[in-house]
């Protein structure tokens, strides 16, 4: 490839030199208007040819650059993911399902580096006209309509919500889930019909994004989420980690234990790995959807994602301070967890320039080396000492649990979410849950010789 580029460069030099000599010859001849016209025509042709050669040189340089990237990717063991080119050119969706403007936002003409990657935001909507709050914040904070096109996928056929979405014109693309029929569910699951419809909608919407529009990555949010000012900056910076690290399978904007008094607001730049799938504003790649779509569940898709058969010991990135918050108390879960936890989640309000930071500490080997040392070097204390505000001189401390019952008891006492999914605690990594308690860092952790999650703990 470098040889081809050199040939083009030499061609440009020879072409310009030849035309310079030809023009010198014409200018030195005594001339008439005919000679002047000929000279002008030669100049125009030379300029056109030079412009075309420059364009071809630029294209060859881009091909060379991305050939090098692909070569590096092929040499990396254990990864088959695509390099910086995140998105393919979107194609029109099924005309019967697209509402409003039919022009789909397109990616730039060339595949740029990761900071120019096109990552659509898929908004899952149903019958909340308050989707306006979600869309207003997305549009307000997104740095580029071209880089972050918004696709609103609506289920339920709710006309008022549809009118709200249509009111955004070409700022968003509005698609509608065509199958609104009730689903056949087991008799003891009739009250969970809504969860079945949500799973059906997710499958259809994600298939539209990855199959029809041909995007290579997407950020998924729901219609009751508000995003932080640096929401897009966060995903721009973490996307390369997800793309290049096969031990990761998502990036989430959510901290399950993100109540204001439990997070370090002085360090909103802090990020962690977690074995728990957080959802609530998350980034995935098309290759993950190719893996999940054939076995997508009929209901309870988020808990299904947390099962070992899906997670496959992969982790997600999550922030110390959440980049999303939920304002939707009413839903299919009938407010479960909302009054106790969700409404208290702290939404980050300080812009962090993540793309200017070195996030290599989140790579598995680096993170485990530093994080595990920090956890197990911290002095162990008893829950009673924390509750009594004792031993404050120690700074960061560790509370050790040994089984399901002690984890749940300690978590409840310290205000941490105590439910487990397939044995994994919310926001946990290698069984460790990190949070603030009365202003100091606490690690609720298993023994140092932890041997893995026990799904029977659920």
Is residue 152 within 8 Å of 125, Cβ to Cβ? Answer: yes
More confident residue, 347 or 70: 347
Q: What pLDDT sits at residue 33? A: 44
CA dihedral of 192, 196, 201, 206, whole degrees rounded to 10 = 120
- Tell me the per-residue pLDDT of 154-170, one tens digit each, with 9 for 90 and over: 999 999 999 999 999 99
Find, among 85, 355, 364, the residue nearest to 231 by Cα.
Answer: 355
Is residue 398 within 8 Å of 378, Cβ to Cβ? Answer: yes
Label residue 56 by pLDDT band (50, 70, 90).
very low
Percent of the chain residues past pLDDT 90, beyond the cut: 69
Q: What pLDDT sits at residue 354? A: 98
Residue 98's DSSP bridge partners are: 175
Asked about 223 being catalytic, the answer comes back as no
Mean pLDDT of 77-106: 37
Q: What pLDDT sits at residue 115? A: 62
Q: What is the pTM of this model?
A: 0.76
Residue 192 to residue 186: CA distance in whole angstroms: 10
Residue 296, phi then psi, degrees to nearest 5: -55, 135
Q: What pLDDT sits at residue 116? A: 77
**With 80 as the cut, is the pLDDT of residue 66 above it?**
no
- Tell me the per-residue pLDDT of 416-432, one tens digit each, with 9 for 90 and over: 999 999 999 999 999 99
Residue 387 to residue 372: CA distance in whole angstroms: 24
Q: What pLDDT sits at residue 341? A: 83
Q: What pLDDT sits at residue 67? A: 44
**Average pLDDT value over all residues in the chain:** 82
Q: Which of 65, 127, 287, 302 is catalytic?
A: 302
Residue 88, phi then psi, degrees to nearest 5: -85, 170
- Count Cβ atoms below 10 Å from residue 105 Cβ, excluding itself: 22
Q: What pLDDT sits at residue 311? A: 98
- Tell me the per-residue pLDDT of 236-249, one tens digit each, with 9 for 90 and over: 999 999 999 999 99
Q: What pLDDT sits at residue 96? A: 39
- Count Cβ atoms below 10 Å from residue 232 Cβ, excluding itself: 22
Mean pLDDT of 187-208: 94
Those residues with Cβ within 8 angstroms of residue 447's Cβ, 6 or more apart along the chain or in another chain? 400, 402
**With 70 as the cut, is the pLDDT of residue 366 above it?**
yes
Using left for φ > 0, alpha for ψ between -120 and 50, and beta otherwise, residue 425 falls in: beta
- Tell me the per-residue pLDDT of 99-155, one tens digit each, with 9 for 90 and over: 433 333 333 333 345 667 899 999 999 999 999 999 999 999 999 999 999 999 999
**With 70 as the cut, is the pLDDT of residue 42 above it?**
no
Residue 322 to residue 316: CA distance in whole angstroms: 14
- Tell me the per-residue pLDDT of 313-342, one tens digit each, with 9 for 90 and over: 999 999 999 999 999 866 555 456 788 889
More confident residue, 49 or 153: 153
Query: How close are the terminal C-alpha atoms of the chain, in Å?
Result: 55
- In 146-224, beta strands by DSSP E: 150-154, 173-176, 217-222
Q: What pLDDT sits at residue 89? A: 34
Q: What pLDDT sits at residue 54? A: 46
Percent of the chain residues past pLDDT 70, beyond the cut: 73
- Tell me the per-residue pLDDT of 273-320, one tens digit each, with 9 for 90 and over: 999 999 999 999 999 999 999 999 999 999 999 999 999 999 999 999
Burial tier of 79 (Cβ tally within 10 Å: 0-12, 13-18, 19+): middle
């Amino acid at each position: 490839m470098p040889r081809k580029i050199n040939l083009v460069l030499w061609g440009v030099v020879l072409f310009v030199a030849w035309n310079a000599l030809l023009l010198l010859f014409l200018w030195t001849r005594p001339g008439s208007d005919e000679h002047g016209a000929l000279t002008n025509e030669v100049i125009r042709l030379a300029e056109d040819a030079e412009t075309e050669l420059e364009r071809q040189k630029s294209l060859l340089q881009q091909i060379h650059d991305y050939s090098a990237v692909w070569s590096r990717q092929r040499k990396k063991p254990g990864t088959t993911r695509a390099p910086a080119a995140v998105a393919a050119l979107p194609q029109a969706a099924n005309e019967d399902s697209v509402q409003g403007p039919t022009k789909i936002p397109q990616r730039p003409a060339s595949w740029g580096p990761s900071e120019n990657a096109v990552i659509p935001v898929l908004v899952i909507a149903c019958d909340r006209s308050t989707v306006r709050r979600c869309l207003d914040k997305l549009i307000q904070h997104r740095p580029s309509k071209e880089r972050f096109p918004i696709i609103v996928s609506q289920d339920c056929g709710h006309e008022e919500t549809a009118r709200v979405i249509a009111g955004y014109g070409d700022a968003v693309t509005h698609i509608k889930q065509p199958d609104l029929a009730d689903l056949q569910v087991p008799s003891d699951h009739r009250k969970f019909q809504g969860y079945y419809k949500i799973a059906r909608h997710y499958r259809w919407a994600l298939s539209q994004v990855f199959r029809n529009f041909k995007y290579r990555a997407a950020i998924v949010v729901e219609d009751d989420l508000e995003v932080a000012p640096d929401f897009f900056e966060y995903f721009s910076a973490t996307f390369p980690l997800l793309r290049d690290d096969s031990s990761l399978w998502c990036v989430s904007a959510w901290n399950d234990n993100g109540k204001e008094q439990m997070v370090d607001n002085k360090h909103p730049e802090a990020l962690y790995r977690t074995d728990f799938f957080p959802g609530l504003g998350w980034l995935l790649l098309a290759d993950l959807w190719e893996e999940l779509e054939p076995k997508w569940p009929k209901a309870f898709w988020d808990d299904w994602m947390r099962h070992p058969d899906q997670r496959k010991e992969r982790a997600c990135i999550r922030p110390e301070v959440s980049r999303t918050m939920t304002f939707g108390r009413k839903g299919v879960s009938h407010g479960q967890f909302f009054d106790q936890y969700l409404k208290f989640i702290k939404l980050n309000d300080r812009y962090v320039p993540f793309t200017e930071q070195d996030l290599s500490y989140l790579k598995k080997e680096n993170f485990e080396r530093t994080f595990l040392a920090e956890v197990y070097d911290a002095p162990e204390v008893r829950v009673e000492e924390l509750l009594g505000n004792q031993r404050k001189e120690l700074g960061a401390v560790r509370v050790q649990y040994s089984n399901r019952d002690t984890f749940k008891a300690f978590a409840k006492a310290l205000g941490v979410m105590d439910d487990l999914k397939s044995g994994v605690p919310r926001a946990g990594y290698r069984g460790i849950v990190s949070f603030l308690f009365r202003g100091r860092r606490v690690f609720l952790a298993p023994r140092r010789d932890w041997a893995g999650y026990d799904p029977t703990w659920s």
